[in-house]
Amino acid sequence: MVFADCGVTSDFVSGARRLGKSASPPERSKQGYNRDVQYTLRDGRSSDLDTLWRIDQACFPPGISYSRLELAVYMRRPGSFTLVAEQPRPRTKSFGDQPGTILGFLVSQAEQKKTGHIVTIDVVGNARRAGIGSKLISAAEERLRSAQIESVYLETMVSNGAAVEFYKRHGYEIVRTEERYYPNGAFVFAKELISSPPAQ
């Protein structure tokens, strides 16, 4: 699976699955329509699983979305990492910092032969067109580069035109078609990380 904009099938991609720890300062969307969406990127936690699974279920139809067990396995594989885009909640005097709202996530894995795999990218529908998918994939590419990964690949449905355009825009190229990966086939995209700048 790769990119999905949950609730809006015309928007995203999905596919991927943990390396180091990272956090980012709050981002304010500068592109698309959701210009006021604020979020931070952080590493996924085991406590996120149920929320991430529900997002994935909303993003993909049965048979393509991951079961809770499948998603948990991808997140826990050796060399895998999960990145989460989270909208912070205001700090209160009574409770201090409260858990934020997860707007999207990405799972990736560093595999053998210096190759990385983007397992899935999911973004909730009301956070679409806010640049979250681009930030997630850029952060994942940087994480993979830091692990000496030289190239990364992913799969997306042939029929998901928005996902195809998204990946092409971020420097990915179709390397082959897998007829049986999805009911209507899947494009396998790849990108060289050593010679390519990060996704923007």
Sign of the CA dihedral with 142 first, then 109, 86, and 20 last: negative
Quote the pLDDT of residue 196: 61
Quote the pLDDT of residue 126: 86
What is the residue whose two structure tokens read 């799972």?
107
For helices 68-76 and 49-59, what crossing angle results, to 10°?
Answer: 120
**pLDDT above 90 for 49:** yes
Closest CA to 70 of 120, 114, 116: 120
Helix, strand, or coil (residue 20): coil
Averaged pLDDT score across all residues of the chain: 82
Specify the DSSP class assigned to residue 77. S
State both tokens at 151.
């190239």
State both tokens at 23.
């956090």
Quote the pLDDT of residue 8: 33
Quote the pLDDT of residue 155: 95
> What does the pLDDT look like over 148-159, one tens digit per residue?
999 999 999 998
Quote the pLDDT of residue 10: 30
Q: For the chain, which domains are there? A: 4-192 (3.40.630.30)
How confident is residue 28, by pLDDT bands cut at 50, 70 and 90? low
- CA distances (Å), 182 to each of 47, 159, 160, 192, in order? 30, 10, 11, 25
The residues that bridge with 90 in the sheet, in sequence order, are none
Specify the DSSP class assigned to residue 199. P
- CA distances (Å), 109 to each of 81, 88, 135, 177, in order? 6, 27, 17, 21
What is d(CA 24, CA 114) in angstroms, rounded to the nearest whole number? 26
How confident is residue 129, by pLDDT bands cut at 50, 70 and 90? confident
Residue type, 141: E
Q: Which residues are CB-neighbours of 29 under 8 A, at least 6 positions away?
A: 35, 36, 37, 38, 130, 131, 132
How confident is residue 192, by pLDDT bands cut at 50, 70 and 90? very high
**pLDDT above 80 for 9:** no
> What does the pLDDT look like over 92-124, one tens digit per residue?
555 445 568 999 999 999 998 999 999 999 999
